[in-house]
């Protein structure tokens, strides 16, 4: 479950995923269901576009005033007894979390679903230091038992069939095989119940921190987010630096947009607001927030790319993406797959670390259309492609090719001479132009063949000897 193979593998991964996929892979069915559920929720809100525009503007304002909002948050956290930690990168975040768990004298951490915790790859790190990290979201629990990473940001096990999960539970939990989803769910409930009741440290990902009150808001459907913030003595909350919202009113809007966009619910079952440790000394006795940068400030410094920080991680762009629908999440080799990942990851780490990601898109625009905070993903993908291209050397063959193309297309005389030359060459080429091989291009298509005479030549011929009824 490591993302280490990312940088240069993407093209190969996508290709092999396309070749080996079954005719009706689960992620295809599941994205289809998610797209139609979202469409229903959008259709029943007559003012959806207004709400979307408002949320977009408010998210952008929040991103533009993050320093101020973090100042407010810190005042509330100090007053409410929440301990704040700052982590510049994933490594710092992991060490901070480990020291909190050790100080609590715990051997196990119960986790509610958090993509940020995947981003900082904390589970492996804790395990290496003798601490068990238990995923409690059903889908996350399943992929953890399989030793895999989630394949979707809100539906982690969406690439698996019920039979896959039934066999997994039978093998790993020693239960009798069943592929009945309610029975499988009950098995997970019983197993995890015991662990919840004895948990000493809980870990959550924060969907939004509310600057106005200091609340840490966590959205779940299963109730595991409530379990790990209600029962353990110590709560560790992972907060992405940009996941701050101004007020409770903004939270109300974003929560509804998130619910409708992610799962097609009007509201998720639970929205849990953690204010701080229990003032009377009950559980939780300690609440720690780790504010994690890990490249977010780098994105923030880039005016154009900054818009991606509005993201509320609903996954609607994944579901809408024709590439994601065909291959699922794994070929991207990253914690955030699909269109948002293709922008967020290279923007966060620098385009060098994920050079192919901006190209894993047809720029069809379905992602931007589905985004509840109108992130212009195709525009940002293009900007990253430009960055990527500028990294290439001036002698790069592709750059040279495009430079020549510009010269040829920029002058009629050169263009006519070049096409006349090409027309001439193609008829003396051995085997004809169809035998021409351009690697990566002619694998799937024939090279274009020039007509014997150009359009202009044919046009001039026709004008020279006019035809047609009105001249007859």
Partner 1 sequence: MADSKRALQKVLAAALERVDAQLIVTSAKGVAAALSSLFDSLAAQTVAITNERELVDFGAVKAVVARSATAVVAPPSEKRAAAEAAEWKQRLAGADVGITSALAIAAETGTLLLPPLSPDQRAVSLLPTHHIALLSEDRLVPDIEALFAVWKKSERTDGNAVFVTGPSRTSDIEKELVLGVHGPQSLHVLLIR
Q: Which residues bind partner 1 (CB under 8 A)?
A: 26, 29-30, 33-34, 76, 79-80, 136-139, 142, 155-158, 160-162, 165, 181-182, 184-186, 188-189, 192-193, 196-198, 213-215, 221-224, 226-227, 229-231, 248-249, 251-252, 255-256, 263, 265-276, 278, 280-284
C-beta of 122 vs 160, nearer to partner 1: 160
Give dist(CA 266, CA 38) in Å, integer: 10
Residue 392 token pair:
């290439």
Nearer to partner 1, 156 or 328 (CB): 156
CA-CA distance, 154 to 314, in Å (whole number)? 7
- Contact at 8 Å (CB) between 134 and 108? yes
Residue closer to partner 1 (CB basis): 31 or 294: 31
User: Of 130, 127, 121, 131, which is closest to residue 94 (Cα–Cα)?
Assistant: 121
Instruction: Give Cα separations from 311 to 136, 190, 333, 368 (angstroms).
Output: 24, 35, 20, 11
Q: Which lies closer to partner 1 via its Cβ, residue 184 or residue 290? A: 184
| Min separation Cβ 16 and partner 1, Å | 24
Neighbours of 78 (CB within 10 A): 12
Of the two residues 69 and 360, which places its CB atom closer to partner 1 in the complex?
69
Closest CA to 156 of 72, 82, 234, 222: 222
Expressed in angstroms, the distance from the first to the final Cα of the chain is 77
Only one residue has tokens 């967020």, namely: 344
Strand residues in 156-256 grouped as ranges (E): 201-205, 208-210, 216-220, 234-240, 244-245
CB of 225 to partner 1, least distance (A): 9
Cα 75 from Cα 78, distance rounded (Å): 5
* Of 277 and 295, CB closest to partner 1: 277
Among 316, 348, 315, 345, CA closest to 332:
345
In the complex, least distance from residue 26 CB atom to partner 1, rounded to whole angstroms: 7
CB of 251 to partner 1, least distance (A): 7
Identify which of residues 108 and 399 has a Cβ nearer to partner 1 in the complex.
Answer: 108
CB contact burial 239-261 (16+ within 10 A = b; e otherwise): bbbbbbbbeeebbebbbbbbbbb
Q: How far is the CB of 311 from partner 1 (least distance, A)?
A: 22
Nearer to partner 1, 77 or 332 (CB): 77
Q: 8 — phi, psi (to 5°)?
A: -100, 5
- Taking the complex as a whole, the smallest distance from the CB of residue 428 to partner 1 amounts, in Å, to 60
- In angstroms, give the least distance from the CB of 117 to partner 1: 17
Angle CA(346)–CA(338)–CA(146) in degrees, nearest 5?
105
Nearer to partner 1, 16 or 186 (CB): 186
Q: Report in angstroms how near the CB of residue 260 gets to partner 1 at its nearest.
A: 11
Smallest gap from residue 278 Cβ to partner 1 (A) = 5
């Amino acid at each position: 479950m490591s993302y280490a193979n990312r940088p240069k593998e993407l093209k190969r991964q996508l290709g092999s995923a396309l070749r080996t996929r079954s005719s009706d892979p689960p992620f295809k069915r599941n994205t289809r269901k998610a797209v139609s559920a979202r469409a229903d929720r959008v259709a029943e809100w007559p003012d959806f576009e207004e709400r979307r525009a408002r949320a977009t503007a408010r998210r952008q304002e929040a991103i533009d005033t993050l320093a101020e909002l973090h100042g407010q948050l810190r005042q509330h956290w100090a007053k409410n007894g929440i301990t704040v930690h700052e982590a510049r990168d994933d490594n710092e975040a992991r060490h901070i979390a480990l020291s909190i768990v050790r100080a609590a004298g715990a051997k196990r951490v119960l986790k509610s679903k958090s993509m940020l915790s995947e981003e900082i790859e904390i589970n492996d790190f804790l395990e290496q230091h003798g601490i068990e990290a238990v995923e409690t979201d059903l889908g996350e629990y399943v992929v953890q038992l399989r030793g895999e990473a989630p394949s979707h940001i809100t539906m982690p096990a969406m690439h698996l069939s019920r039979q896959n999960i039934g066999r997994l539970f039978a093998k790993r939990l020693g239960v009798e095989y069943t592929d009945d989803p309610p029975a499988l769910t009950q098995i997970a409930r019983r197993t995890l119940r015991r662990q919840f009741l004895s948990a000493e440290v809980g870990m959550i990902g924060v969907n939004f921190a509310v600057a106005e009150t200091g609340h840490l808001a966590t959205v779940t459907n299963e109730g595991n987010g409530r379990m790990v913030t209600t029962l353990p003595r110590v709560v560790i909350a992972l907060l992405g630096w940009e996941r701050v919202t101004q007020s409770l009113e903004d939270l109300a809007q974003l929560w509804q947009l998130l619910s409708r966009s992610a799962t097609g619910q009007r509201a998720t079952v639970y929205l849990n607001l953690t204010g701080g440790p229990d003032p009377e000394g009950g559980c939780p006795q300690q609440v720690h927030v780790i504010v994690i940068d890990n490249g977010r400030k780098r994105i923030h410094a880039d005016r154009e790319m900054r818009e991606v920080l509005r993201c509320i991680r609903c996954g609607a762009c994944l579901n809408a993406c024709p590439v994601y629908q065909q291959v699922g999440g794994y070929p991207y080799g990253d914690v955030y797959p699909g269109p948002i990942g293709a922008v967020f990851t290279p923007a966060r780490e620098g385009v060098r670390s994920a050079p192919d990601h901006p190209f894993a898109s047809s720029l069809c625009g379905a992602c931007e259309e589905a985004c509840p905070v109108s992130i212009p993903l195709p525009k940002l993908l293009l900007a990253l492609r430009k960055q990527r291209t500028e990294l290439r050397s001036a002698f790069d063959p592709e750059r040279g090719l495009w430079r020549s193309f510009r010269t040829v297309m920029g002058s009629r005389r050169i263009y006519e001479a070049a096409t006349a030359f090409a027309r001439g060459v193609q008829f003396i080429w051995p085997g004809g132009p169809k035998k021409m091989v351009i690697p990566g291009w002619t694998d799937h298509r024939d090279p274009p063949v020039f007509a014997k005479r150009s359009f202009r030549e044919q046009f001039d011929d026709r004008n020279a000897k006019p035809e047609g009824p009105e001249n007859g």
